Each structure stands twice: as structure tokens, then as C-alpha cells.
Structure 1
Amino acid sequence: MARERSGRTVAHLVLATRLKVLREAAGLSLKQAAAALGAHPATVRRIEQAQTSLDVGQVSALLAAYGAARAETDDFLGKLASANAPGWWHPWRAVMDPWQLDLMSVESAAGIVRTWEPALVPALLRTPSYARAVDDVLRPDLSPAAKDRRTDLLIQRQERLRTQQTRIWAVMSAAALYTRVGAPGIMAEQLQVLRAVAERPDVTLQIHPLDGPPHALTGKPPLTLFRVEVPEISDHVVREGGLAGTADVWDAPDTVTAYRLLLDYSCATALHPDKSKEVLDLS
């Protein structure tokens, strides 16, 4: 089962972990720290696990109880102010799926994003027209305006990942190359862009050919794994659901490792990136 998450940003998670480290360095128990707040120990536990927002007053009281120096307190509160500011994706929150709201901060801090797509072009490699056409089919519950906003968001995600030099490693089925999405011109543009994207140094694209044998991800729904280069943050994996807009999200190490191995096994049997480029050239 997916772990229930709080929707805190990566910056909140880092600061929460730092509070725990400071408490332990001060030799205080949860009960003793809670006494400084006049609260139950469970409150401090929730703060340290980023299961609740970080209140400036509570944080200041905890830092004082832990004997934090003035400079350290000022630095912590300054970072807290930045963490409490809305994420760049805030203007699009109304059209985002709940799991996207929860994971956007993780994606925005990711050093590598690995993804599997069984039937379509991976989302992070889609053109705006292709992405809009996919939503037209898969998201009939959304208004045209909402679909347009979601396309705008995807463009922003792609641009920001490239700017922050996040590596994208995608594995897909060749079936996507022959599945017509939208008008013929949309598919032609998508294939042209996919060929160009495959040449980028920050993108690794592998394809499972139509006449290939079953592999580790055969029959599996779309899957994305985020790796964040921050010690306090676990890797996260997203498995999109059968219902539109739903997904399971995990960050438990055992579960993430199991899915990472599936990606590894699938990539090991997919075409080499150079051979995948040849498939694109022939499509």
C-alpha cells in the first residue's frame, strides 16, 4: 500500500530532519522537547517527520530548547521562510492531480527521473500538442481550459528539469510509435521531437521493440522513479492507477528498491539507446 504523505516540500523535509538532528545532539527526548512547546510528544514527532507544517513560533521554541546559536537560528528561520513560500507550480494547482501536488517538490529537486511508459510517449518527452491530445482522450472529466492549463504545466516542468540539469532516463514500448494520438500532424511532430530529444546528453531513451520478448515491466502501468541528491530525502516511486488522475506513491526503501530493480531489468533487455534511435529513424 502506498504510504500516506503530507504534501510537504523537500525544503520542509530537510528542515524537519535537521530539527531531529539538533534535538538528538542536545540529548533531549521527544518528551523533553514537547515540554518546551507545552505540547504532547506526538506533536514533536509529527514535526520531525514533516507530517505537519513548520510553525515559526514552535520552531523558534524548539531551537531555543536545543541551545541553537543565534546564527544557526537565523539561518534556520530564513530557510523556513523560503520553504513556506508557494512552489513555482502554485498557479497550476487547480488542474493538478492530488499525487502531482504531493510530488512536484520532489520532481523539482530530482537529479534523475526514470520512467516507464507501456503505450504512449513518456510524459516528460511529449510535445504540447501530443500531451493535449492525450488529455482529450484520457481525461474527458476535464474542461478544455483545464486541459490547456495542464499542457502549460507540462511545458514548464520540461523546461525546469532541463534548466536544473535533471537526467531523464525513459524506457517505452515501440507500440507508442504506432499509436496515433491526435491528427497525423501531431504524431509527425512528436516523432520528430522524440528523435531530437534522444540526441540530448541529459536524456537516455530505450525502446522495447514490438517483436521483442516479455520483459520485467510487461503489463505494468506507467511508472516514474525520482532520485533526489539530498541525504534527508528518500527516493520516490509513482505508479499511475487505472482511474484517471490516480496514482500510488511510495518512498519506503524496500518498495522503491523493488521498482528500481524492475526498471533495471527492463532497461537491461530493452534496445540500447543507439539502437533505439535507429527505431525512431525508421518510424
Structure 2
Amino acid sequence: MARERSGRTVAHLVLATRLKTLREAAGMSRTEAATALGAHVATVRRIEQAETSLDEGQIHTLLTAYGAGAAEMEAFLGKLATANLPGWWHPWRSVMDAWQLDLMSVESATRIIRVWEPALIPALLRTPSYARAVENIRRPDLSPADRDRRTELLMERQKRLRLQKTRIWAIMPAAALRTFVGGAGVMAEQRRALRAAVERSDVTLQIHPLDGPCHAMTGMPAVTLYRVDVPEIPDHVVREGDLRGSAEVLSGLQAVSAYHVLLDHTCVVAPHPNKSKEVLS
């Protein structure tokens, strides 16, 4: 994913896909579209793959070349104006990781988020105190103010996911409950928050016991799978790296399907979600 796509919204991505569909319906190649635009063919490719911003003048020219009617053109340009507005996450851009910038728009259209967290409480279920303690440990390179801002962003993500009724399905090891992050008070608060979370209809939590069997995700870093509810946008997988703020973002069908299968196998091996309530009590 190109970094300059970081300001995009789902509406932006949908419009880019719509442009490609209109071109193909008009029987035009990218080279022909580029000629009509007076630009290199790579410009059309970047527009259709949402790798660059959608400029109103360029889009008007392309829509005219594709034979779009006045009503369709007006509707498209109206949606473009909305799509070009900054995403809700814009105030936190300076402290976000590159992969977060790319994925925020996808997250805003996600129906289910599936998470494997190998050592800690999954981020989307963390309390502010626990999240801030993790930032202190993992990002000593940042200023205290920036770590606070990153914690604020996580809390805002959690809030917005609840409002859009996105389901969180997380799997973690029981060791995470015994790994002190931020001290006893922080851990006690986090346990209480998890007990409340598993009572919600939008949260499923499975906890692998300390003496449980090896499973498909054993030894893997944190993995998040975004099941997207917009036809034009593929599902995505984020596999976090070892370096600070690094992650691999995958959206190819083969890669996403492979992680889907791995998570399915891990869920089958893990105790039923009801057991999580017993572990947390």
C-alpha cells in the first residue's frame, strides 16, 4: 500500500473502483483513457487503484470520456467532494504508524475484526491505563505526549467500532492475564474490563489455557483480519512486525484466505468463549 493513500476514505476507494468499471463499460483501455486525460497511462492506473488523490478536474475529464450523463456526473462529483474530506483519524496522523494510516478507512467499513494476540491483551480490548503502559514499554522512542495521543487514538477506535457495530473476535493466551503490564492496579482494572466486554454481543473472546495444545497460530506475531462489508473493498490482514510500528498489510485473496483458515483452526482448538468468562471471574 502506498503511503500517499493514507488520507483516503472508503468512499474514495469505492469511487476509484467505480471509475474503472465505467472505463471498462465504455470499452476503453487505460491507454485510451490516459490519452483523453492528457497524462501517462500510469496516472490512470494510480487513480483506479486509489494510489493517488482524486482530482475533480481529472475525474470530470474521465467521466466525459466514458460517456457519463449529466446526472451521473453530478452525483459522482458530489460523492467525490465528500470523499476528499479528511478522515476522522486526521488529528492523530502525526503519531500513527504507516500501516494504521492505510487501514483506518478499511477499519471504518469492517464488519468483523478477528485478532490473534500472542502475549498481551488484544489492543481493541485494552483499557486506557493498560494501553498507555504498553506504549511506555513498546515505544520509548516517542515522547510521553505522543504516547498519550496514541492511547487516545486507540480509545477512539474502540468507541467508533462499537458505534458501527463491528464484531470483535479475539484469541489470546492465558499468559497475557499473568503478565503484569503497568502493575497490579492496571491489571485488575483490565480484568474487570474484559469481564464486561465478554458480556457484550459484539465481542467474542477465546483464551488458550497455559497447558493447552499447540495450535495453528502458535509462535506467530499479532495478526488482525478485517472482514470488510463493502463489495469494492477486499478483506485485509495485518501481521505485526518486530520493529517499532512495523507491520505487513495483505489484501490478496490467497493470503487473506490462508490467515482465515489459520484463525479458524485456532478457534476450534481454543476453549469455547463461555470458558473465557470462567477464566476471568
TM-score range, shorter chain: over 0.9
Distance 2:188 2:279 in 1: 15
Distance 1:101 1:32 in 2: 33
Native 8 Å contact 2:2 2:51 kept in 1: no
User: Alpha-carbon deviations, 1:132-181, whole Å to 9, x = none?
Assistant: 01111111111110111111111110000000000110011101010011
2:216 corresponds to 1:223: no
Shift of 1:9: 2.9
Aligned to 2:39: 39
Distance 1:89 1:195 in 2: 29
Shift of 1:67: 1.1
Distance 1:43 1:94 in 2: 28
Aligned to 1:95: 95
Aligned to 1:270: 270
Secondary structure of the residue aligned to 1:191 is: helix
Deviates more, 1:26-35 or 1:179-188: 26-35
Aligned to 1:179: 179
Q: Structure 2: where are the runs of 5+ without partners? A: none
Distance 1:81 1:179 in 2: 48
User: Alpha-carbon deviations, 1:25-68, whole Å to 9, x = none?
Assistant: 11222222112111222221221111221111000000011111
Count matched residues.
279
Distance 2:46 2:148 in 1: 38
2:29 corresponds to 1:29: yes
Aligned to 1:147: 147
Distance 1:255 1:133 in 2: 33
Distance 1:174 1:271 in 2: 11
Aligned to 1:19: 19
User: Alpha-carbon deviations, 1:253-272, whole Å to 9, x = none?
Assistant: 11111111111111110010
Distance 1:131 1:229 in 2: 28
Distance 1:150 1:33 in 2: 42
Distance 2:51 2:129 in 1: 38
Q: Which amino acid aligns with 2:189?
A: E
Distance 1:52 1:149 in 2: 27
Q: Which amino acid aligns with 1:201?
A: S
Distance 1:92 1:51 in 2: 21
Q: Which amino acid aligns with 2:37?
A: L
Normalised to the residue count of structure 1, the TM-score between the two structures is 0.96
Secondary structure of the residue aligned to 2:256 is: helix
2:122 corresponds to 1:122: yes
Distance 1:80 1:193 in 2: 40
Secondary structure of the residue aligned to 1:22 is: helix
Q: Which amino acid aligns with 1:88?
A: W
User: Alpha-carbon deviations, 1:227-259, whole Å to 9, x = none?
Assistant: 111111010000110111111101011111111
Native 8 Å contact 2:130 2:190 kept in 1: yes
2:247 corresponds to 1:212: no
Q: Structure 1: where are the runs of 5+ without partners? A: none
User: Alpha-carbon deviations, 1:174-227, whole Å to 9, x = none?
Assistant: 010100111211100000010110110001111100010110011100110111
Distance 2:235 2:2 in 1: 15
- Aligned residue runs from structure 1 range 48-67, under 5 A: 48-67=48-67
Q: Which amino acid aligns with 1:241?
A: G
Aligned to 1:257: 257
Distance 1:29 1:238 in 2: 33
Secondary structure of the residue aligned to 2:177 is: helix
Native 8 Å contact 2:87 2:105 kept in 1: yes
Secondary structure of the residue aligned to 1:171 is: strand
